[in-house]
Structure 1
Amino acid sequence: MFKKHQIYKTDKYNMLTVEVQGKTLIVREINEQWGEECHTFVSRPEMLHWAENRFRLADYVGREEERNAIIASFKEI
């Protein structure tokens, strides 16, 4: 059995979840532009590094609260 964490969900076509399967972390990102992308990480620091690069501060100018909430959700896993 694995545990699923929802990072964000704006609707059924735009969401990001993390599944914890033992020591493996599977990030599923669904968006209406690209469909579903799946990333597999073997450690929490590796996943957090990806999240910091995926959700760069420069991309969230004026929406820092949104980005901070996303990163905080990753850190809670």
Structure 2
Amino acid sequence: MIKKYTIYKTDNWNMMTVEVHGRQRVLREISDQWGEETHTFMSRPAMIEWAERRFDAEKFEGSEEERQTILNALKDV
């Protein structure tokens, strides 16, 4: 059984979803600037480690509250 989680969705072109396939997590990041990127993680800790690098506080363009909301949503998957 596959479970799908929406991490954020600002419109039809800017969103992030995670599908859980047993232990494996498939993260899809869709952007109107970059297209679609798919990342496959073999464990939840690996996904969280990637997310902390991807949403680094110094490089994130949104507010700290937005950043924490995204990170918390990923930790809840």
Sequence identity (%): 55
Q: Structure 1-normalised TM-score?
A: 0.95
Amino acid corresponding to residue 17 of structure 2 in structure 1? T
- Gaps (5+ residues) in structure 2? none
Tell me which stretches of 4 or more aligned residues in structure 1 moved more than 6 Å: none
- Gaps (5+ residues) in structure 1? none
Q: Structure 2-normalised TM-score?
A: 0.95
**The structure with more helix, counted as a fraction of residues:** 1
Please state if 1:19 is matched with 2:19: yes
- The number of residues matched between the two structures is 77
CA deviations 1:12-62 (Å, max 9, x no partner) are: 000000000011100000000110000000000000000000001012377
Distance 1:47 1:61 in 2: 21
Amino acid corresponding to residue 41 of structure 1 in structure 2? F
Amino acid corresponding to residue 63 of structure 1 in structure 2? S
